Amino acid sequence: MIIKNVHIFDGNPITNTSDIRIENDRIAAIAATIMPYETEEVIDGKGMIALPGMADAHRHVWQAAFKACAADLMLMDYLNQTVGGIGAQITPEELYCLNFYGYLRAAANGITTIFDWSHIMNSPEHADAALQAATDAGINVLFFHASTAIDRTPWWYNSELPHDKDIERLVKNYGNQSPYVKIGMGIRGPEFATMQVNEQDIKLAKQLNIPVSMHIGSSILGKIHKPVMQLYEKGLLHANMNMVHCNTLSDTEFELMRDAGCLVSMTPEAEMQMGLGNPASKQVAKCTGLKWSAGIDIDTASTDSLIFQQRLLLQHYRSELNNELIEKMEFPMAMPYKANDFFFESQRYTHEFAGMNTCEEILVGKNASLSLLKWDELQCTSFVQNPAFYYLKETNIDTVIANGKVLLREGKWLNRDMVQLEAAIAEIVKKVR
């Protein structure tokens, strides 16, 4: 496959076009002109920008169909009404539809790699259905098997219950089934389970050689439990660990995560709404060398635009640093973080942690996952010389390619019956609402 005459978004002024050759699931060549083979598929990228496939570092994918049902909910109400209320009613067959729909909606918004923190593992059949949806969707999924949505109390309130042992079956059966779907363990962490349970869970994940993800530094719980300190004192911090939110952690805890090589994921919109605390952008930036990332979190309350989440996080960081100067009666003069530097850096460590050869840039030898966006309305503007990422709109996506395969072409899904899927989704939403 060749994409011809396309502008590659790399953060620099948009000038020349390029041709991109894709072979199997890799980018084989990038040049000013590439002659196609006799039978090679050619996509005309004229008038479009090639945007690297974006990576969402934290999402509860099953919630994609329940938009806005948590728009005015705080954290505990969301957990009880959305996760425990809706999640407890979902059958395995319905979960397949919900997850498949959620993955495709992510792809339609330019996201081709996603960390799916699945806290609706109500049975082994639910886990099988969710993983099958991940495989069928065609994008890159790091699937964090988490807890059940049924009777959540014993699992989330100083829980003494270890992680469901079904994770061992899943790793055995699905661990090598697809190069684009990997399994991880979504554990409760020190704020929601005892340290004995956390120690058991983390040791099991190490034995299975899978990554661990946990919600941490959530509102006052982070201040009460000092969770990273507890993990450090037990010798449990390691580089294959994804720490989500981190709003109320101390500077020392950020340093400990950096030294251990952990990945921090921030989801600014959900954090700001639900009382988790201010996004940790300033603490992350201050902790030089810390690996960090951004995610959407919950479609039930947050927009499904990762570009919006990145812009929100960037502007929050800029505002915090500017306000520090104002408090000192100094006039802010220097821009704290350039927009496109932020965009690429917010993606880099997500791709690295996923371990699927995906990349924050379109580069030869890397996984062929990208989207083509029409940019007619921007071509006559100074965006050409100053292409700040947040002027790109997901609604202008024309084509999506994931792992070398075209999923969406000219705004239409290939080999996917969206009419049937959306009808099934409507019935599920009607049932639980």
Helix (H, G, I), strand (E, B) or coil at 40: coil
Whole-number pLDDT of residue 176: 86
176 token code pair = 């090598």
Of 192, 229, 342, 189, which is closest to residue 279 (Cα–Cα)? 342
| Look-up of token digits 């850096």 | 345
Output the pLDDT for position 433. 73
- Alpha carbon 9 to chain centroid, angstroms: 20
CB 57 within 8 A of CB 295: yes
Q: What is the pLDDT of residues 98-125, one digit of tens each?
A: 999 999 999 999 999 999 999 999 999 9
Q: Residue type for 300, please?
A: T
Mean pLDDT on 266-284: 96
Percent of the chain topping pLDDT 70: 100
Q: What's the token pair of residue 123? A: 């049975």
Strand segments, DSSP code E, in 13-128 are 18-23, 26-31, 42-44, 48-52, 54-59, 111-118
Rounded Cα gap, residues 56 and 353, in angstroms: 12
pLDDT score recorded for residue 177: 87
**Which pLDDT tens digit goes with each residue over 206-257?**
999 999 999 999 999 999 999 999 999 999 999 999 999 999 999 999 999 9
- pLDDT, tens digit, 9 for 90 and up, residues 311-325: 999 999 999 999 999
Report which secondary-structure segment, H or E, holds 306.
helix 306-327
Tens digit of each residue's pLDDT (9 = 90 or more) over 291-308: 999 999 999 999 999 999
pLDDT at site 327: 96
Residue 282: pLDDT band (50, 70, 90) is: very high
> What is the rounded average pLDDT for all residues in the chain?
96
What is the C-alpha to C-alpha distance for residues 126 and 43, in angstroms, rounded to an integer?
38
Which pLDDT belongs to residue 336? 87
Length of the chain: 433
The C-alpha atoms of residue 180 and residue 127 are separated, in whole angstroms, by 17
Identify the CATH homologous superfamily for domain 2-52+358-413. Urease, subunit C, domain 1 (2.30.40.10)
Query: CA angle at residue 64 from 185 to 114, to 5 degrees?
Result: 45
| CATH, range 54-350 | 3.20.20.140
CATH 2.30.40.10 residue ranges in the chain?
2-52+358-413
Query: What would the DSSP string read from start to end of 369-430?
Result: -EEEEE-GGGTTSGGGTS--GGG--GGGEEEEEETTEEEEETTEESS--HHHHHHHHHHHHH
pTM of the model: 0.97
pLDDT score at 72: 95
Instruction: State residue 198's pLDDT score.
Output: 98
The token duo for 334 is 């220097």
Q: Quick one: 250 exposed, middle or buried, by C-beta within 10 A (0-12, 13-18, 19+)?
A: middle
pLDDT at 390: 95
Q: In DSSP terms, which residues pair with 34 in a beta bridge?
A: none
Please give the Cα distance from 45 to 253 (Å, whole number). 46
Task: Give pLDDT, residue 74.
Answer: 95
DSSP-derived 3-state class of residue 168: helix
**All CATH 3.20.20.140 domain ranges in the chain, comma separated:** 54-350
Read off the pLDDT of each residue in 35-59 and give the average, rounded to a whole number: 96
**Average of pLDDT values for 378-396?**
95
